[in-house]
Structure 1
Amino acid sequence: MRMNKFLTLVVITIIAWSCNNDDDGVEAIPLRLLSEVAIEDDAEIIEYLKTHFYNYEEFESKPEGFDYQVKIDTIAGDNANKISLFDSPELKSEVIEVDSDDFGLTEKETNIKHTLYYIVANKGDDNQGVQPTAMDSTFVTYEGRRLSNTIFDSADAPVWFDMVSTVRGFGKGVAGLKAGGEVEENGDGTFTILDPGVGVIFMPSGLAYFSGTQPGLSYSPIIFKVNLFRVEESDHDRDGVPTWKEDRDGDSNPRNDDTDEDGGPDYLDTDDDGDFTPTNEEIRNDSGEITNPDSYPGTENGGTADYLNPDVN
């Protein structure tokens, strides 16, 4: 899938060019500032939210044979009295800070606030559904659209997504849902996962592709519809510490957490404190068992876990 190929830490080397009618030459289009684009994107998203609605009535009543698909339409004509996305009680928002380094931009900016909006149309199964972090692996269907309603990516059949490898806004939005519950056989060799989490994510380009890792999406706020069926906790480096636990600063971006400052983020580092003793060994108790993340050896009385303390090996 195209979205799965996205890497946040990229050095952008391609500059867009346009024709100059005066001298038949070319004119470089400069890269834009995160702070400038964030303001524009937010205004566009809010305008969209105020002028569109989703099929909330179907989600409230869930008629027989309901397909759990979000449908968005314009508030006009016969739909003039519909509740807008902006006024929906299901609309959530979250402010996320983004740095220019996240996109390899030369103009340095830090802690630029971007607002992510998402609709929780169906929370998911409260009894069996697991709520993911933005760093887990998820089994989903999705559809990506521009605000103009043009589809640029989709998966109609469920696929597993490593959410660390997707655009940042996608993982944060999906983390607001729960997975589905029971599995129902359809009698034709297929199955249905009941009561999936269903949401719509509205993200500014600073939480998506910003200046062009996807053709045609430069500086474009985008929409993702998503159905969440299953969740698996991720441990990218297989060191026994789940990836969500290696997000030390809690910003849902494990790429910028590097305890031993060796240039490799902790979630991909099998020796997090750089003491030459593998993390997998330092998180085991006296019986050789891997314990709960909140009770790794060394954390007693509020201490630093052994696997993050280079003085303990």
Structure 2
Amino acid sequence: MYLAHLKKLAIMNKFKYYFILLITTVSLFSCSKDNNTAEIVPPRDYAVQYATDLADIEEYLKNYYIEDVSPDVDTKITKIPAGGTQPSIFSYLNSPTFPKLLSREVKLHDITYKLYYLVLREGTGTSPSNVDEIYTTYRGEYLTTTKVDAVTTQTTTKFEEWIYEPQKANLFGYNIRGWKEIFPQFKTGNNTSNLDGTVSHTGFGAGVMFIPSGLAYYASGNASIPAYAPLIFSFKLYEMQRLDHEYAISGQSTLPTPDGIMSFQEDLDGDGYVWTKGELPTGAINPDDTDKDGIPDFLDVDDDGDGYGTKIEITKNGVVYPFAAIPSCDGNTTNPARIKKHLDKNCY
């Protein structure tokens, strides 16, 4: 009987233990749910944030000056001291000589951005398109603006720097829209291989771009870059590589299927840029999409939608014509991007 009593006590204690454990678990879960659930904050309105970014960027341009530009176009930008008479960066707006501050309009997010960029040297070579691969060195900073008691304080924080070895960047796949817009405004330089294995660069384009957050990482930020931060890039453009971007999807794989026409040559309106649908303003018709199927020609294996691949249409005896060798159908050679061929013509 005593053993039965002990057994009964053990069962009751076990029941009590699991009951307490259950209550504790529920309580902890409830507390965790109440205290740790992150509030979902919707992204800020693009127009409102852009107005803030533009004001902050222009404030920076009016209060900082180019302290030094070395013979190798290394740039040092410094805040104008109180009472200083140094010319601000903004004073070079539309200057006829270098340095010159220019701006480019970018229509996106149902607004028109003003994207400022400082040209220290234009470059002596060739301008890339926004779908080419570039070789560049750069220093990236984000701009922070605080206002306390009507006093504005601005600071820049370096987040990345590649200044010794040029880095490759495929502008088509690059996340920062500002890069795609500004690099085509510059030109490459000359590159000479030295006996010691190094490369000397001369005549390259160099400048600084000031990018609103809507043309950068916006609400997401990136690594150490906070959300809604305008970005400043000092850069040099050394070289570029033309690319041919067409691809086909096979199952879950993406297979390169270049059509033999470099992507920059499929710029039908000749403005120096080709865009995908998501990169255009809302409702805009892509001027570089011949058959208007939503796929721009530089990504489309059948540009004119006639069932014959563009690569087949520009070949003769199975050999792709070099673009320069393709004859004009009507003698009009003012727009070399007008390259829509037919099997019976082999011309553009």
TM range, normalised to the smaller chain? Answer: 0.7 to 0.9
- The match for 2:129 is 133
The counterpart of 2:85, out of the listed 72, 81, 84, is 81
Q: For 1:272, what is the secondary structure of its paired residue? A: coil
- The match for 1:107 is none
Structure 1 stretches of 5 or more lacking a match?
Answer: 1-22, 100-109
Query: Residue 31 and residue 68 in structure 1: after superposition, are their counterparts in 2 closer, same or farther (change >3 A)?
Result: same
Question: Quick check: 1:115 aligned with 2:146?
Answer: no
Q: Is the 8 A contact 1:255 1:265 kept in 2?
A: yes
- The match for 1:124 is 123
Q: Structure 1: which amino acid aligns with 2:306?
A: D
The counterpart of 1:226, out of the listed 221, 235, 239, is 235
Aligned ranges 1:159-170 → 2 under 5 Å: 159-166=167-174, 167-170=176-179
Q: How many residues get paired?
A: 268
Q: Is the 8 A contact 1:95 1:116 kept in 2?
A: yes
Q: Structure 1: which amino acid aligns with 2:126?
A: V
Q: Structure 1: which amino acid aligns with 2:161?
A: S
Q: Is the 8 A contact 1:38 1:113 kept in 2?
A: no
Query: Residue 288 and residue 165 in structure 1: after superposition, are their counterparts in 2 closer, same or farther (change >3 A)?
Result: closer
Query: Residue 306 and residue 48 in structure 1: after superposition, are their counterparts in 2 closer, same or farther (change >3 A)?
Result: closer
TM-score w.r.t. structure 1 length? 0.73
Structure 2 stretches of 5 or more lacking a match?
Answer: 1-33, 144-154, 247-257, 278-285
Aligned ranges 1:75-224 → 2 under 5 Å: 75-76=80-81, 80-88=84-92, 89=95, 90-99=100-109, 110=110, 112-125=111-124, 129-147=125-143, 148-156=155-163, 157-166=165-174, 167-183=176-192, 185=194, 188-212=196-220, 214-215=222-223, 216-224=225-233
> In 1, distance between residues paired with 2:104 and 2:121?
19
> In 2, distance between residues paired with 1:116 and 1:83?
21
TM-score w.r.t. structure 2 length? 0.66
> In 2, distance between residues paired with 1:244 and 1:172?
14
Query: Residue 291 and residue 191 in structure 1: after superposition, are their counterparts in 2 closer, same or farther (change >3 A)?
Result: closer
> In 2, distance between residues paired with 1:277 and 1:142?
43
1:282, distance to aligned residue in structure 2 (A): 2.1
Q: Is the 8 A contact 1:198 1:228 kept in 2?
A: yes
Q: Structure 2: which amino acid aligns with 1:114?
A: Y
Residue by residue, what CA displacement relative to the aligned partner does 1:158-206 show, whole Å, maximum 9, x if unpaired? 0121111222211221222211124262x54312111221110001112
> In 1, distance between residues paired with 2:171 and 2:117?
17
> In 2, distance between residues paired with 1:298 and 1:206?
44
Higher relative contact order (CA 8 A, sep 6+): 1
> In 1, distance between residues paired with 2:230 and 2:320?
49
User: Larger % of strand: which?
Assistant: 2
> In 1, distance between residues paired with 2:65 and 2:217?
25
Q: Is the 8 A contact 1:139 1:160 kept in 2?
A: yes
Q: Structure 1: which amino acid aligns with 2:215?
A: L
Q: For 2:78, what is the secondary structure of its paired residue? A: strand
> In 1, distance between residues paired with 2:193 and 2:66?
27
The counterpart of 2:276, out of the listed 251, 255, 260, is 255
Q: Structure 1: which amino acid aligns with 2:239?
A: R
Question: Quick check: 1:240 aligned with 2:260?
Answer: yes
> In 2, distance between residues paired with 1:246 and 1:217?
37
Q: For 2:134, what is the secondary structure of its paired residue? A: strand
Query: Residue 242 and residue 296 in structure 1: after superposition, are their counterparts in 2 closer, same or farther (change >3 A)?
Result: farther
Q: Is the 8 A contact 2:89 2:101 kept in 1?
A: yes
> In 1, distance between residues paired with 2:54 and 2:325?
37
Q: Percent identity?
A: 31
Q: Is the 8 A contact 1:254 1:266 kept in 2?
A: no
> In 2, distance between residues paired with 1:293 and 1:75?
55
1:283, distance to aligned residue in structure 2 (A): 3.4
> In 1, distance between residues paired with 2:326 and 2:47?
37
Query: Residue 235 and residue 262 in structure 1: after superposition, are their counterparts in 2 closer, same or farther (change >3 A)?
Result: same
The counterpart of 1:271, out of the listed 279, 302, 308, is 302
